Chain A
Amino acid sequence: MSAIVSLRNVVKTYTRGKQTVEVLHNLSLEIAQGDFVALMGPSGSGKTTLLNLIGGLDRPTSGEVSVAGERIDSLSSGQLAKWRARNVGFVFQFYNLMPMLTAERNVELPLLLTNLSGAQRRQNVQAALTVVGLADRAKHKPAELSGGQAQRVAIARALVADPTLLVCDEPTGDLDRATADDILHLLQMLNRDHGKTIVMVTHDPKAAEFASHQLHLDKGQLVEGDVKAAA
């Protein structure tokens, strides 16, 4: 299967005060389309930085990042925003829903950037909420939902624009085991039945077991894993 994510010789450094810290060291990897990859490693290993580069939230200091056939490391801020809207759905540990909007309004947010009519948007929102099993909670605000339900709404928001890639940063980190398993089953279903490529950062080995591949990072380098490292 062809690679949907391709990183070549990626270096990422941050400057904190007078100190420059290299977080990713000459990292190269490929993730195949339709894969479900768990990105693991200790705190400070560069997992979230790598996820941000794959999701187009950040740019590498050097090296190439291609996602869905497009070099995103050279896109401008505006081009990157448009690219994200078309290609990536994001799921965060703390859901990051808009507290003043209902579930359906939260899910609709990415669709406001499209040319879809109000009726089409509502239809897509309903479909996304149905996929995550929350069609009956459409009118509820985040404060009226449980943690698991809120995360499902966040997943529906990530799905609604039909992106090729889902990027999840500790999606079960704030949930109990049973609820976390429900969410992971949902992600597995989206990967298996809807063909979504998923890259998930997690500390939890049990969560990583739901992925089809695991990738381990330590001190900004891939140390082991069954995802093919680029030559």
Chain B
Amino acid sequence: MKYAPLVWAALWRSRARTIFTLLSLAAAFLLLGLLQAANSLFSLNTVNLSAPLLITQARVSFTNPLPMRLLAQIEAVSGVTAVSHSQFFGGAYQDPKNFFAQFAVNPERWRKVFTECSLPDEQFRAWQQSRTAAIAGRQLAERFGFKIGDRIPLTSQIWQQKDGSRAWAFDLVGIFDDTRKDSCPRQNNMYIRYDYFDEARLLGQGGAGIFVLRLSDPALAERVSRQIDAMFENSPDETKTQTEKDFSLNFVRQVGNLGLILNSIVGAVFFTILLLTGNTMSQAVRDRIPELAVLKTVGYSDGGVLALVLAEALLLCALGGMAGMLLAVAAMKVLSRLPTQFPPFNADLRVWIFGVASMLLLGLVVGLPPALRAQRLDIVEALR
């Protein structure tokens, strides 16, 4: 510890250079933290975790709708307390960029399955009474300024009406709250009535889409998912039953090999910051050659000087890296409040281990060459 002031002072010898390097490191670690959190999230396999809700989709793809006749069989499985069929509508409000998730459901089944969603009774009754009625989550309503009584025009990218039109319209009769904060918030969803939708659509009548199952005990998730998938094995309608979180993540995974994409970006960021910080450290040591020679003159050993330079590089990377990681955590908190269909990012232990290991590795890689140069420094030559 007695050398700490010396290392600290050396770090700030060129204040502007150190500040810019720290800012670069912080920016890089902000990006690394966010990307690694995304990587950590998308690489999760939660099939065996407990969950109160399961989703049964067609084994091939969730875009292949399952037939409605499966509902009764799924409902009969022990541990399943309620089942809601749910067909993705894929509509945009006024402009294609105003996209949000809409699902065609049966109101009574919806209420039994999505028990975390609170919809006032009179609004629920209004939804039951009108076939063109729809309900929206609180965040969605606030985002677009929807009010009860509004007629909401939607253009579906998937479904045509029988007259060939893709333009649909629904009457907003209810706004619900979803108190869950952990994952897959439904506050950005809109629910329309399946019976109206099924009758009006041009194609696909009778298709249920997916099934959302409520379990009597979250611990039954693994057993129930296996049992359901086994029931339909080798049938024309093979199923894949998974937790709601996994379902959302698999939706994103369709983009491509996300792990590879994210790891490639992480690698590029790391390599860039390595070059930048490496250059800074080399420059910092070049500027201080006479000072390092003086340290050796007064009795600091070659190893001691090496350790001082290495400590400076590690301190630089640790300071910039920690600032970046803390910014990443703050950014994740902000992002988790934004409207999204997906579980929020979290800086879990894996992300922190990755971050700290990256700081150490970066510190060693960028610090070692100048530290070795300082170690080999010839006093007489350096002071000449």
Contact = CB atoms under 8 A, between A and B. Distances in A.
A101 B6 contact: yes
Contact of B9 (A52, A85, A105, A161): A105
Contact of B296 (A81, A99, A101): A81
A110 B304 CA distance: 13
A135 interface: no
Interface residues of B, number: 24
Contacts of A110: 298-299
Nearest to B294: A96
Contacts of A113: 298-300, 304
Contact of B380 (A57, A90, A112): A57
A120 B245 CA distance: 62
Nearest to B296: A81
A78 B308 CA distance: 16
A112 to B, nearest CB: 5
Contacts of A112: 2-3, 6
Contacts of B9: 98, 100-101, 105
B299 to A, nearest CB: 2
Given A57-B379, A81-B302, A96-B383, A90 B6 contact: no
A92 B383 contact: yes
Contact of B301 (A52, A81, A99, A157): A81
Given A105-B5, A105-B9, A77 B302 contact: yes
Contacts of B299: 81-82, 84-86, 110, 113, 161
B297 A90 contact: yes
A11 interface: no
B12 interface: yes
A58 interface: yes
A90 B380 CA distance: 13
A177 B9 CA distance: 34
A186 interface: no
A29 interface: no
Contacts of A81: 296, 299-302, 304
A109 B383 contact: no
Nearest to B14: A100
B5 A84 contact: no
Contacts of B3: 112
B13 interface: yes
A141 B6 CA distance: 14
Interface in A127-185: 157, 161
A93 to B, nearest CB: 10
Q: Which 6 A-B pairs have the closest CB atoms?
A: A85-B299, A100-B9, A81-B301, A110-B298, A100-B13, A96-B294
